[in-house]
Structure 1
């Protein structure tokens, strides 16, 4: 069934994979444990994120193997809204997959990412880009054309294992690996951001909708 014949917000969808995020917080993002009620360390949030979709479906449309880049700008506490956001959709996506991912990452598809529809005051749009998400050892790398160049690595604990904040109610997932950015460069929408050495997160995601 063609996507344009289905009402947005009623289509069953799932995404399983990994998300990485790097923001301008100087230490680990307080939003994870405060659930957006504590302000970012710099008073505002500027961030990029990358999603690797290992398995995904939107209705009859397969999303598996695709990548998505995200641009986020939040003026204060995450939970207070008024975000600006944009999605960069893998240029390998079919037209149906592009539409599906646009619906998911704008919040229109409801479900896990439905909060975008509530918190984002200005969705700057979805556009096709070459989005490359790679893992080299423990480093995750994201390249979104010339707009985002990012790399994050987990922060090790006393026993050599990654530091993980577990059993949270954070929207991305319950277990967030504490990380730092070895590269965090954004050149998009008139912004020039460099977040090398700043806070980062790694999360295994299992999202779904519309409920």
Structure 2
């Protein structure tokens, strides 16, 4: 587990100071987008256009260990909706977050700050690239793993399942390693066996499209 985090004055930072509050998350992220083949953003760092010229995606985060100030966020899940009109690096994104309904008020506020970019740190790029944060809401966010399959269920709003793409060795995943991708350096190449979004006026179906699996280790200011 993470150690308690204190400010220079020796007083633990609270959740009331977004952008200054220490935070950290370890866990796993899955993502499914509308790219017809493996997402080119992973290796181009957003400088190559998505295969359809624009990006629509849902993502799920399983938090194995984490905190935001004095709020414990371990064991919670988050669902995300992302819409990017062109090159990822050029910004003008739209985003929304679904926060695990099990989160207490402190954890909820912290997760909204993290995934809106207000908390800075690893996800701080959201504050630079997202031009419209569509909102955040509490929801039953379920992240399941069965064998190699990962599933994200956010009520009827997101229903998704991703599985690693098969390689010559069936026991080993195809992994793009040592990248500079913001989510994490090692990305497992996957595909969606189900990718349905019915939220914020979006109706998307991405079955069979590109997907990713990534172990995450994110931090905010003084997050270690």
TM-score w.r.t. length of structure 2? 0.92
Conservation of the 8 A alpha-carbon contact between 1:44 and 1:74: yes
Q: Counterparts of 1:78-97 in structure 2 under 5 Å?
A: 78-97=88-107
- The answer to whether the aligner puts 1:65 opposite 2:72 as a matched pair is no
- The answer to whether the aligner puts 1:183 opposite 2:194 as a matched pair is yes
Q: Which residue is equivalent to 2:177?
A: 166
Conservation of the 8 A alpha-carbon contact between 2:13 and 2:69: no
TM-score w.r.t. length of structure 1? 0.97
How many equivalent residue pairs? Answer: 210
Q: Which residue is equivalent to 2:159?
A: 149
Q: Counterparts of 1:12-27 in structure 2 under 5 Å?
A: 12-27=22-37
Conservation of the 8 A alpha-carbon contact between 2:13 and 2:22: no
Q: How large is the Cα RMSD of the aligned pairs?
A: 1.1
- Structure 1 residue ranges (4+ consecutive) displaced by more than 2 angstroms after TM superposition: 1-4
Q: 1:191 offset after TM fit, Å?
A: 1.0
**Alignment match of 2:214 (pick from 195, 203, 209):** 203
Conservation of the 8 A alpha-carbon contact between 2:13 and 2:21: no
SS class of match (2:219): strand
Structure with higher Rg: it is 2
**Alignment match of 2:147 (pick from 114, 123, 137):** 137
Q: 1:124 offset after TM fit, Å?
A: 0.6
